[in-house]
Structure 1
Amino acid sequence: MTKRNMELSLKQREEVLEILKDRFDTNMNRHKDLEWAKVQAKLEDSTEKLWSLNEMEITKGEPDVVGYDKMTDEYIFYDCSAESPKGRRSVCYDREALEARKKHKPENNAMDMAAAMGIELLTEEQYWQLQKLGNFDTKTSSWVQTPANIRKLGGAIFCDRRYDTVFLYHNGAESYYAARGFRGSLRV
């Protein structure tokens, strides 16, 4: 992906900033003690990150600020859509899994899609943090970053929320389902 492709027009930047501000204001429980003006200043200085947030928005991730890292001076965004982002479902875990499928291959895989968007899949720990902010994935599930030892054996992990409980599961990395996508994170 070239840098040219990762640039938004002025109008697009204004639109995504407005969407992010509205979501920020509507969901203050996700980012207590944070100020939108400071978040916006960081976003305006980081056009590639704003592009990534726009990609998260386009694929129905509804990105929002969920924290601030004082050590790195970065705001942390997660996909906060109620269900796994609609524009990122029906994908297997990674390219290796996609290439291993002989029949009925999905169109894409979670790891490549995330990389193309400039984001990372949530880790298991980040997924648990997200679930403290609300009830997510009550009808869908989301791939999360899989430890190398599990992936080496052909598996991948995903999470969801059922029965008011967050679950961590495993599946073959090449599997894909209409209700399974992935959630991303981005530091700005």
Structure 2
Amino acid sequence: MTKESNKELSSEQREELVKVLKARFEKNSHRHEGLEWAKIEAKLEANPEKLWSLNEMERTEGEPDVVGYDEKTDEYIFVDCSIESPKGRRSICYDRAALNSRKKFPPENSAMDMANDMGVEMLTEAQYRALQELGPFDLKTSSWVQTPDNIRKLGGAIFCDRRYDTVFVYHNGADSYYAARGFRGALRV
């Protein structure tokens, strides 16, 4: 289902994306205190396939930014930091099984399929809560998060949002979809 079989960016696209990512990194230093852009940029240049995934995050209006560094794996962690759930990833159900089960008015795609096509991981509940420590996100929208197997086997899926200065975790049928619900991705570089 990948729309683009070529997962490489032109040198101009890479340059423009790195410029956008650097500007966002510098503007939002509270998200990644103690991290240096030069080291992140070197990692990006050494991993062009990750740049393609970051471009997909950007193209779908996720506004990816660095939110951490994993010392054990020597990887920087990028997460969608758009204030609301990314516009280019809304009105989708949870996964392929849910999409296939829709008899009437199926959505165009599912969150898990889109994440896979983009080369990113959908956030877990813990990652979503960690993101909320960096600022208020999803005040008007909501985001699907990885759902435990026991819930998914029963037909459900979970999503999160922030209301009343509190992060809420809710459930819905995995086949449901709403104009204000999408998903946020994470990418390790």
Both structures adopt the same fold (TM-score exceeding 0.5): yes
In structure 1, the residue corresponding to 2:139 is in which secondary structure? Answer: coil
Superposition deviation, residue 164 in structure 1: 0.7
Superposition deviation, residue 4 in structure 1: 5.8
Aligned to 2:164: 163
Structure 2 counterpart of 1:57, one-letter code: E
Aligned to 1:152: 153
**1:33-64 Cα deviation digits (max 9, x unpaired):** 00000000000000000000000000000000
Superposition deviation, residue 127 in structure 1: 0.1
C-alpha separation in 2, matches of 1:143 and 1:70: 28
1:80 to 2:81 alignment: yes
Aligned to 2:28: 27
Superposition deviation, residue 145 in structure 1: 0.3
Aligned to 1:71: 72
Structure 2 counterpart of 1:90, one-letter code: S
In structure 1, the residue corresponding to 2:158 is in which secondary structure? Answer: strand
When the two structures are superposed, what TM-score results if normalisation uses the length of structure 2?
Answer: 0.98
**1:153-183 Cα deviation digits (max 9, x unpaired):** 0000000000110000000000000000000
C-alpha separation in 1, matches of 2:97 and 2:4: 26
Runs in 1 of length 4+ with deviation above 4 angstroms? 1-4
C-alpha separation in 1, matches of 2:3 and 2:172: 34
Structure 2 counterpart of 1:107, one-letter code: E
In structure 1, the residue corresponding to 2:161 is in which secondary structure? Answer: strand
Count of aligned positions? 188
C-alpha separation in 2, matches of 1:137 and 1:2: 27
In structure 2, the residue corresponding to 1:185 is in which secondary structure? Answer: strand
Percent identity, aligned pairs only, is 73
Superposition deviation, residue 76 in structure 1: 0.2
Superposition deviation, residue 126 in structure 1: 0.0
- Which blocks of at least 5 consecutive residues in structure 1 are unaligned? none
